């Protein structure tokens, strides 16, 4: 049997997904032709499909040793290194593939994806455009480039590429989807409804279907058709729930909160605090609150100040909680028993992890913004006794409604927001725990209401600036310009914070009052507590 016949039979086996047979055929041929780069390349392909990545790498490397000018092999090596989360080697191999063959559209596309992943958006944009230039029909490159412009709020280029793509693809569903996003950002709500109401996306593309329904709901909300809006919010949330219900469980996060609430509810006096200087690090400042209570707005305002840097939703405290649990083993009575040496190690770990995220400047203060860190205050206070806390508050009804209306990235915590009942219950236990913390812990805390920022910006923001022992800076009034300069905002509010302050989100819940009737008992106590 000749080499060509063996390769042909192997291709038939691959098409029939009989990979074992294909491997046997190709290895038999390789034994006879060890320096055939095509055989090595095909074996690399098959082992990649089978998930045997190291074997695949070896075959691809052998292939390029034999034929160092074979661009696809380098491109495929990049793909495997990407799977192994080795972005440096992925980029290196993609660049070699492009150097050999600048017209390799797939190499440009995959390289752009890697740059996007590591948040190098300039290079990601560059190579998505090059992928399109070298293959004008590359719908995947258009899709990801449009996604990049959406998430970085580059609305000018978003609209520009939508118009370009419409000329290439006509009435393509993916392009219509992004046209809807572009029109939504221009406040053309009726136009979005026109585009989306009959748009049937691939049912397997859950993310786009979730986003489409959520944007459609928001458009109906903006034009005052609240029943239609609520219907599409429910559709969006139901798709999310059905898609991720086996992966994420709302009970898991609620359990974290209830276990703390049950323990600390039995403590009726202040917990004493040791203010010993454990190291030379300044204890952090934490921006906390219930989700959708204005933390992202406040984040954007505060980072406008030249002396403030905000770390946006990084898992520094979650990593710390995991470390603490090694010592307390889910028994909160052990929290007070952690000795000073252990606390020093945990603090050092936090500060070292923070340095990996951001370069520190001694002239600045650093705010760790992660709203639901509000449930870990007992642990934070134990490790950082001199920490400061900024609590962002919002009318409980508006906060709950906004969580229900928002398309969050799915996880255990966000799984509590798929209906108003669960969201209200979640608000109730989070704020019950926070209230208990205030009773038993001596916290250096400043509360600020979202509504006060909107109605009396300078006075309310000045109060936070004073709390941080800083001087007022008039640049704070132009916070939306700061948002425009940010490369990507990693919260659900990414397309809102670059806008001037607006009042239509205050008391929005009254448009959906009939939906809240059965949930009033959960929220009325907080209306009184927070003086709304």
- pLDDT on residue 480: 79
Number of H helices, E strands in the chain: 26, 5
Dihedral of CA atoms 238, 242, 244, 246 in degrees, nearest 10, equals 140
* CA–CA dist 52, 19 (Å, integer): 12
Q: List the structure tokens of 233.
A: 């919010």
Evaluate whether residue 353 is within a structural domain.
Answer: yes
* CA–CA dist 113, 207 (Å, integer): 18
Mean pLDDT over each residue of the chain, to the nearest integer: 92
pLDDT of 498 strictly over 70 = no
Q: Taking a C-beta distance cutoff of 8 angstroms, is the pair 90, 114 a contact?
A: yes
Evaluate whether residue 271 is within a structural domain.
Answer: no
Average pLDDT, stretch 453-471?
96
β-bridge mates for residue 389, sequence order: 286, 445
- pLDDT on residue 487: 53
Evaluate whether residue 352 is within a structural domain.
Answer: yes
Q: 506, 490, 450, 419: which is closest to 153 by C-alpha? A: 490
- pLDDT on residue 84: 95
Share of the chain above pLDDT 90, in %: 82
**What global pTM score does this model have?**
0.85
Element of type H or E holding 195: helix 189-196
Question: To which residue do tokens 């045997």 refer?
Answer: 52
- pLDDT on residue 216: 97
**What is the domain range of residue 323?**
281-402+443-493+502-529
Express each pLDDT in 357-393 by its tens digit.
998 888 899 999 999 999 999 999 999 999 999 999 9
Confidence class of residue 494 from pLDDT cuts 50, 70 and 90? very low
- pLDDT on residue 476: 92
Q: Taking a C-beta distance cutoff of 8 angstroms, is the pair 368, 302 a contact?
A: no
pLDDT of 6 strictly over 90 = no
Evaluate whether residue 123 is within a structural domain.
Answer: no
pLDDT of 251 strictly over 80 = yes
Express each pLDDT in 257-269 by its tens digit.
999 999 999 998 9
Pairing of strands 444-449, 365-369: unpaired
Q: List the structure tokens of 422.
A: 């669960």
* CA–CA dist 414, 249 (Å, integer): 9
Evaluate whether residue 421 is within a structural domain.
Answer: no
More confident residue, 482 or 400: 400
Q: Taking a C-beta distance cutoff of 8 angstroms, is the pair 429, 446 a contact?
A: no
Q: 413, 426, 417: which is closest to 236 by C-alpha? A: 417
* CA–CA dist 182, 481 (Å, integer): 20
β-bridge mates for residue 288, sequence order: 391
pLDDT of 482 strictly over 70 = no
Q: Taking a C-beta distance cutoff of 8 angstroms, is the pair 460, 452 a contact?
A: yes
CATH of residue 375: 3.40.50.300
DSSP 400-425: HHHHHHS-PPP-TTGGGGSSHHHHHH
- pLDDT on residue 500: 59
Evaluate whether residue 370 is within a structural domain.
Answer: yes
Overall domain count for the chain? 1
Average pLDDT, stretch 468-484?
85
Evaluate whether residue 484 is within a structural domain.
Answer: yes
- DSSP-H helix ranges across 16-104: 19-32, 37-49, 53-66, 71-83, 87-100
- pLDDT on residue 32: 86
Average pLDDT, stretch 188-208?
95
Q: Taking a C-beta distance cutoff of 8 angstroms, is the pair 175, 165 a contact?
A: yes
- SS3 of 346-393: the string is HHHHHHHHHHHHCCCCCCCEEEEECHHHHHHHHHHHHHCCCCEEEEEE
Q: How many CB atoms lie within 10 A of CB 172?
A: 16
- pLDDT on residue 491: 52
* CA–CA dist 523, 516 (Å, integer): 10
- pLDDT on residue 493: 47
Least confident of 17-31, 50-64, 143-157, 208-222: 17-31
Dihedral of CA atoms 20, 25, 26, 28 in degrees, nearest 10, equals 120
Q: Is the Cα dihedral 407, 368, 265, 412 positive or negative?
A: positive
Evaluate whether residue 170 is within a structural domain.
Answer: no
Average pLDDT, stretch 127-140?
96
DSSP 286-317: EEEESTTSSHHHHHHHHTTSTTEEEEES-THH
Confidence class of residue 403 from pLDDT cuts 50, 70 and 90? very high
Confidence class of residue 517 from pLDDT cuts 50, 70 and 90? confident
CA 60 to chain centre: 34
């Amino acid at each position: 049997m000749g080499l060509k016949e063996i390769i042909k039979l192997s291709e038939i086996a691959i098409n029939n997904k009989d990979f074992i047979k294909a491997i046997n055929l190709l290895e038999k041929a390789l034994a006879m032709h060890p320096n055939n780069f095509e055989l090595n390349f095909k074996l690399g392909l098959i082992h990649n499909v089978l998930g045997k990545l190291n074997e695949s790498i070896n075959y691809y490397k052998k292939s390029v040793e034999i034929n160092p000018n074979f661009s696809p092999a380098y491109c495929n090596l990049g793909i495997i290194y990407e799977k192994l989360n080795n972005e440096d080697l992925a980029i290196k191999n993609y660049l070699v593939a492009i150097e050999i063959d600048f017209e390799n559209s797939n190499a440009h596309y995959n390289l752009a994806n890697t740059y996007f992943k590591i948040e190098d958006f300039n290079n990601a944009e560059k190579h998505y455009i090059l992928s399109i230039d070298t293959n004008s029909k590359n719908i995947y490159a258009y899709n990801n480039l449009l996604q990049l412009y959406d998430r970085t709020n580059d609305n000018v280029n978003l609209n520009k590429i939508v118009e370009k793509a419409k000329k290439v693809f006509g009435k393509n569903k993916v392009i219509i989807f992004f046209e809807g996003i572009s029109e939504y950002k221009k406040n053309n709500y009726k136009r979005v409804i026109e585009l989306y109401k009959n748009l049937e996306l691939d049912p397997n593309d859950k993310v786009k279907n979730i986003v489409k329904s959520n944007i459609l709901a928001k458009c109906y909300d903006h034009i005052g058709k609240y029943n239609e809006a609520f219907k599409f919010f429910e559709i969006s949330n139901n798709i999310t729930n059905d898609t991720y219900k086996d992966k994420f469980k709302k009970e898991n996060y609620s359990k974290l909160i209830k276990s703390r609430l049950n323990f600390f509810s039995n403590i009726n006096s202040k917990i004493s605090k040791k203010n010993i200087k454990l190291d030379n690090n300044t204890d952090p400042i934490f921006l906390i609150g219930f989700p959708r209570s204005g933390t992202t707005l406040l984040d954007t305002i505060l980072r406008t100040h030249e002396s403030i840097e905000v770390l946006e939703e990084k898992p520094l405290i979650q990593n710390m909680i995991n470390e603490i649990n090694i010592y307390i083993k889910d028994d909160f009575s052990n929290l007070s028993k952690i000795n000073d040496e252990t606390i020093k190690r945990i603090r050092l770990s936090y500060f070292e992890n923070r340095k990996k995220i951001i370069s520190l400047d001694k002239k600045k203060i650093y705010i760790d913004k992660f709203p639901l860190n509000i449930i870990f205050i007992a642990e934070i206070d134990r490790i950082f006794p001199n920490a400061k806390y900024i609590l962002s508050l919002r009318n409980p009804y508006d906060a709950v409604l906004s969580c229900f209306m928002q398309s969050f990235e799915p996880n255990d915590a966000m799984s509590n927001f798929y209906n108003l009942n669960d969201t209200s219950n979640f608000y109730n236990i989070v704020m019950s725990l926070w209230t208990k913390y205030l009773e038993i812990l001596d916290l250096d805390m400043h509360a600020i209401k979202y509504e006060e920022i909107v109605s009396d910006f300078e006075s309310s923001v000045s109060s936070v600036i004073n709390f941080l022992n800083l001087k007022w800076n008039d640049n704070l009034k132009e916070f939306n310009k700061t948002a425009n300069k940010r490369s990507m905002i990693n919260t659900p509010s990414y397309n809102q914070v670059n806008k001037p302050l607006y009042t239509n989100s205050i008391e929005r819940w009254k448009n959906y009052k009939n939906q809240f009737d059965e949930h009033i008992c959960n929220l009325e106590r907080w209306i009184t507590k927070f003086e709304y």
